[in-house]
Amino acid sequence: MLDYVKSLLSFYSMTKCKPIAILFGGVSEEGAISAASARNLFKAIDCTRYNPFLVELTKDNTWKVLGEDDVVLRERPIHDLRGVGEADRHPYDFDIAIVLIHGAPAENGKLQPLLEAQGIAYSCCSMKTSCLTFDKQLTKVVAQSINVRCAKGQSLHREEISTFHCTLDFPVIVKPNESGSSYGVHKVDSKDALEAALCDAGKYSDKILVEEFIIGREVAVGLIQLNDDLHVFPITEIIPEGSFFDFEAKYEGKSQEITPAPIDEEVKIVLHNRAKKLYEAFSLQGIVRIDFFVAKEDVFLIEINTIPGMSAASIIPQQCAAYGWSLQQLTNHMIDSVLLGHGVNQSSTI
């Protein structure tokens, strides 16, 4: 513990009021959600310690360093966030990044090697872990190998839609294999409605999943690793107005989110243990959110969110408040996690 405190003190002496990039945007459909997350965290960051900048990644893979009123202070190519190729010195030579880019290119692991090549420490999972968790089918394979149950399902390429034969009983859930924020996710009650749902899911991913519809309670477990302590936040139960937690339920207020969830202590222990097992097995880094269904027969993994939403409406800020942490404390802990993970977990293998 003494070495840990010394390392943090040394780190803070180096980073006090140094610039920190809060990255948002990206090329996926989740850009607006990413911006809301970044702006919420930006307002909460401790400016006595850090000099934060909102940095947007545009659709054409250009970094825009933003100032007051979103004035563009500098534009940089995606491979040079630090501005190494610039002749002048400036107050935004970033060597720490809080990554809040939902979807590509961060959650799928493509951004991380670019940051590592520039010597920039980052808050999210490694390239290898992100590539794995962004692929929902592969995530299920690994989870089941460590005895974490997942929904039964089938997979297909979008070119196979017209010939696909569903062997599951209806209703089923159709979703893109590589996408987030419930884009392209549908509950399908009959065979007649299946093809339209598959076509919509195919807009967001080449590969599509069709899974059994599990009757149960949907819950979310947030976690963050600090030193040797894996902090597990109070569990949130998600009660959608409709039949499942779709985009409208997530982002347009059409759900009720209860934190802490009113669940039995025995079920809570199971959820905590499963979440911890997944965090370790997937070599997760920083703050993550893992979603489950709690059914009569067992607990089923839904997905692992390696860059969870941080907007005012997001689940993680609610859980932190219930845990006794302010959003500013959470931000400090995220930066602590960057220190502890940079060069360790971010270079590890699964």
Residue 28: pLDDT band by 50, 70, 90 thresholds? confident
Residue 11: pLDDT band by 50, 70, 90 thresholds? very low
Dig out the tokens for 262 from the structure: 């009113």
- Identify the pLDDT of residue 346: 44
SS (H, E, C) the chain: CHHHHHHHHHHHHHHCCEEEEEEEECCCCCHHHHHHHHHHHHHHCCCCCEEEEEEEECCCCEEEEECHHHCEEEEEECCCCCCCCCCCCCCCCCCEEEECCCCCCCCCCCCHHHHHHCCCEECCCCHHHHHHHHCHHHHHHHHHHCCCCECCEEEEEHHHHHHCCCCCCCCEEEEECCCCCCCCCEEECCHHHHHHHHHHHCCCCCEEEEEECCCCEEEEEEEEEECCEEEECCCEEEEECCCCCCHHHHHCCCEEEECCCCCCHHHHHHHHHHHHHHHHHCCCCCEEEEEEEECCCCEEEEEEECCCCCCCCCHHHHHHHHHCCCHHHHHHHHHHHHHHHCCCHHHCCC
Question: Does the reported pTM lie above 0.75?
Answer: yes
For the stretch 235-289, pLDDT in tens is: 999 998 866 555 555 555 677 999 999 999 999 999 999 999 999 999 999 999 9
- Identify the pLDDT of residue 246: 54
Question: Is residue 349 over pLDDT 50?
Answer: no
Domains belonging to the chain, first-starting first, are 2-123 (3.40.50.20), 131-149+215-347 (3.30.470.20), 153-212 (3.30.1490.20)
